[in-house]
């Protein structure tokens, strides 16, 4: 995997002229500086002179006016339009603001950034508390589940951590023991069940070690931890408990729909109550 593949070359920022608009642009500036990316600001809605001038003013204030910044105004359905822009512009990372928690109706029927996160074909960063003076991400929690996408996600996480000068990252292996627990209702011996469990964990540990061996971590300290529980929920809880500022997860294997919210699994646990900023890594290699 080359370095070129690992950077966010083109970042799109969804702009909504909310009170957090200025902070979103400040965060975009930090990302642009850190990854030397091109920026594309996307706003879906009717173009008004006042909003246009305000956006230009902010872009100028943050020294973002230049060849590497582009503004796109579109009309139509916000989610579909932003996704189309991402596809047309070959965006690597889509950034949007998001509330930590949405009301139950809005959650089930979909706020814009959560809908984007379920459908985006590129990586997506959801900022829960964008700051006017952003400090970057120092404490990262990363998904280390045994999955084909994990290698790419970890590589990306390591690069982000190093770019922001983090000292360490936590890689969490989530162990869903529900399938393994099935044998407990059958004729099992405790030691036998534990041996099976240990063998499965060992296999996963070896895979993770191999991934980390192949990843250039530099001085970064990698902490790995295995937590039993429902995937998506346990890593979210860990992230909240540790007060991390960025949770990094694999992208969903298939587009999520209403049923996935009614019967939540994996990333939906994090989306239902964001523990911190959330970065969903879309691994193009695994498509």
The C-alpha atoms of residue 222 and residue 209 are separated, in whole angstroms, by 11
Residue reference for tokens 């869903």: 176
**Options 3-11, 35-43, 165-173, 253-261: segment touching other proteins (CB under 8 A):** 253-261
* 45 touches other proteins (CB under 8 A): no
* 287 touches other proteins (CB under 8 A): no
Distances (CA, A) of 88 to 14, 58, 112, 184: 15, 25, 19, 52
* DSSP assigned state of 194: H
* 180 touches other proteins (CB under 8 A): yes
The distance between the two most distant Cα atoms of the chain, rounded to a whole number of Å, is: 73
Q: Which of 106, 196, 202, 284 binds other proteins (CB under 8 A)?
A: 196
**Options 72-80, 116-124, 177-185, 279-287: segment touching other proteins (CB under 8 A):** 177-185
Q: Which of 18, 76, 188, 221 binds other proteins (CB under 8 A)?
A: 188
**Options 15-23, 131-139, 179-187, 239-247: segment touching other proteins (CB under 8 A):** 179-187
Q: Can you say whether the dihedral through the CA atoms of 87, 89, 90, 93 is positive or negative?
A: negative
**Options 16-24, 63-71, 157-165, 185-193: segment touching other proteins (CB under 8 A):** 185-193
Residue whose CB is less far from other proteins, 35 or 233: 233
Q: Can you say whether the dihedral through the CA atoms of 161, 67, 126, 84 is positive or negative?
A: negative
Minimum CB separation of residue 212 from other proteins in Å reads: 19
For residue 27, give the nearest of 45, 39, 17, 10 by alpha carbon. Answer: 39
Lateral strand order in the sheet of 38-44 = 69-74, 38-44, 10-14, 93-97, 123-127, 277-281, 246-250, 140-143, 168-175, 221-228
* 152 touches other proteins (CB under 8 A): no
* 258 touches other proteins (CB under 8 A): no
Is residue 221 a contact partner of residue 166, using CB atoms and an 8 Å limit?
A: no
E strand spans, 180-220:
none
Residue whose CB is less far from other proteins, 182 or 214: 182
Minimum CB separation of residue 200 from other proteins in Å reads: 6
Strand partners, 189: none
Q: Look at phi and psi of residue 49 and say left if phi exceeds 0, alpha if psi is from -120 to 50, else beta.
A: alpha
For residue 92, give the nearest of 281, 287, 286 by alpha carbon. Answer: 281
Minimum CB separation of residue 184 from other proteins in Å reads: 5
Residue whose CB is less far from other proteins, 170 or 266: 266
* 147 touches other proteins (CB under 8 A): yes
Residue reference for tokens 């400090």: 135
Minimum CB separation of residue 94 from other proteins in Å reads: 24
- Binding to other proteins (CB under 8 A) within 210-249 occurs at 228-230, 233
User: Contacts with other proteins: how many residues (CB under 8 A)?
Assistant: 31
* 259 touches other proteins (CB under 8 A): yes
For residue 31, give the nearest of 133, 110, 123, 136 by alpha carbon. Answer: 136
Question: Which residues bind to other proteins, rule: CB under 8 A?
Answer: 146-147, 177-188, 196, 200, 203, 228-230, 233, 253-254, 259-260, 262-266, 269
């Amino acid at each position: 995997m080359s370095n070129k593949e690992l950077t966010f070359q083109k970042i799109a920022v969804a702009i909504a002229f909310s009170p957090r608009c200025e902070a979103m642009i400040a965060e975009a500036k930090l990302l642009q500086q850190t990854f030397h990316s091109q920026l594309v600001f996307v706003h879906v809605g009717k173009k008004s002179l006042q909003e246009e001038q305000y956006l230009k003013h902010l872009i100028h204030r943050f020294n973002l006016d230049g060849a590497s910044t582009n503004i796109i105004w579109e009309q139509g359905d916000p989610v579909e339009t932003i996704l189309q822009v991402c596809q047309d512009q070959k965006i690597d990372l889509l950034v949007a603001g998001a509330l930590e928690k949405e009301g139950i109706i809005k959650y089930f029927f979909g706020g814009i950034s959560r809908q984007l996160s379920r459908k985006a074909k590129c990586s997506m960063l959801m900022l829960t508390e964008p700051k006017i003076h952003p400090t970057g991400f120092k404490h990262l929690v990363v998904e280390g589940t045994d999955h084909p996408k994990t290698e790419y996600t970890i590589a990306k996480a390591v690069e982000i951590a190093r770019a922001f000068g983090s000292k360490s990252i936590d890689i969490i292996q989530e162990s869903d023991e529900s399938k393994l627990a099935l044998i407990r209702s059958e004729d099992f011996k405790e030691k036998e069940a534990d041996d099976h469990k240990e063998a499965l964990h060992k296999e996963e540990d070896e895979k993770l070690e191999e991934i980390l061996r192949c990843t250039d971590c530099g001085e970064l300290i990698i902490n790995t931890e295995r937590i039993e529980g429902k995937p998506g929920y346990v890593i979210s809880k860990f992230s909240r408990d540790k007060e991390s500022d960025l949770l990094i997860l694999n992208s969903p294997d298939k587009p999520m729909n209403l049923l996935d919210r009614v019967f939540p699994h994996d990333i939906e646990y994090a989306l239902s109550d964001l523990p911190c900023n959330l970065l969903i890594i879309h691994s193009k290699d695994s498509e």
